[in-house]
Amino acid sequence: MTVRVLGAMKAPMGARRKQKRLLEVAATDRTFEQKELDGAPILEGKCIHCQKKLSLRADGTPLNGATLEHIVPKNHGGTDDLENLAIACARCNSEKGLRHDHKRADDPRLQEVIARLRERRRRRLR
């Protein structure tokens, strides 16, 4: 029997860890506030790209497609550190992935997108 070793590849974030990370990003993003939905506490804030309303249950479960956005894409060495993460709607996140993340690291368009998201994340920090 052979055992496949994934070498230096990092394990993808599991659902639990993603939920925890979503809560941590929301806690540091001033667009997110405590609200209630059907009597249950939720956090409601805005997509880093399009400002669409996004909400999370108190345990971090995304209610309407909130996803973790890597500002510097993972394929360019972007980490799961809080400052490299933002919350984006699924649509914007996959659009950024398709349109920009595969570009070369020195591509001016990719650099521009990263710079813009960094600035927005910085302005939203609390």
Which CB, 91 or 103, lies closer to Zn ion? 91
Which CB, 43 or 92, lies closer to Zn ion? 92
Which CB, 48 or 72, lies closer to Zn ion? 48
Number of residues engaging Zn ion in binding (CB under 5 A):
6
Least distance between Zn ion and beta carbon 33 (Å): 18
Least distance between Zn ion and beta carbon 80 (Å): 20
Choice from 22, 25, 43, 47 touching Zn ion (CB under 5 A) = 47
Q: Tokens 């479960």 belong to which residue?
A: 61
